[in-house]
Amino acid sequence: MARAEAVDVVQLYRTFITASHILHHHGVLDAFGHISVRHPQKPNVFIMSQFIAPALIASPNDLIEYYVDDASPVDPSAGKGYSERCIHSEVLKRYPNMNSVIHSHSEAILPYAISGVPLRPCYHMAGFLGHKVPIYDIAKWYQEDDRRDMLVSNTRLGAALADHFMSSKGASSSGHLEPEHTVVLMRGHGLTVVGASIQQAVSRAIYTQKNAIVQTTSLSLRNAFAGQTTDEGLSGQGIQFLGEDEATDSRQMNDNTVGRPWGLWVREVESQKLYVNLA
């Protein structure tokens, strides 16, 4: 490996570890959940951590390379990895321009995967959510021999999830370099987020959670206010989400400003003794 390529990979390791710490610091990941990144010199390979909590990932020795094609480890003797790495392999396989995937069980977002209330962009920082966030219901894709534990533990279930990043129901997403959706909710489980870079995926995951909190607060406030006797009634138009044009333009703004919060988030985790990054 050329020196420049080696430095590039080392920097990627450091960014990956920092991203895991940031996601934990912001409550997007706890002991569970994970992030992946496509290898910069080997696009048919992606990187994840071993089977450890994201906050405790500390060095390149904690990382494992997998093949995008089937999520098998490049090194057959690698340690134990995440059983749901097929989420990452299938999304990266389907969308060649996407280079990072995050899977989370965020409790702030989960209600929108089970309640029938759609998650919608409430403010400009979540324009990337688009007009509607799709929901993946794994029950529709089980086969007789599948364990019904909600885990996406094989490539078939992962491929079905990857399909949900496209709008057309049941349509194959093969041939698309980029997905139409950036976030897919997962019934009874959580969500999956994609990005062209680690920084973009992390930003989308964090602001998806923030948006869910804003939306839940708005719904609670509206319902509480509706129960009061007042001379000023509620607006008949309900929660005022972003319009489609507003979401589209805000998404471009989101993508152009990823570096600003990233710098802050890096400093936040670097100042915490819990997080160690030896890359």
Of the candidates 98, 91, 128, the residue with the CA atom closest to the CA atom of residue 208: 128
The residues pairing with 193 across neighbouring beta strands, listed in sequence order, are 102, 183
CA 186 to chain CA centroid, nearest Å: 11
CA atoms within 13 A on the CB side of 87: 31
Of the candidates 77, 16, 72, the residue with the CA atom closest to the CA atom of residue 44: 72
The residues pairing with 48 across neighbouring beta strands, listed in sequence order, are 64
Options 84, 90, 107, 244, the catalytic residue: 84
Answer yes or no: are the C-beta atoms of 200 and 183 closer than 8 Å: no
Which 8-state DSSP code applies to residue 191? E
CA distances from 12 to 41, 147, 259 (A): 11, 35, 16
Is 84 tagged catalytic?
Answer: yes
What residues are annotated to the active site?
Answer: 84
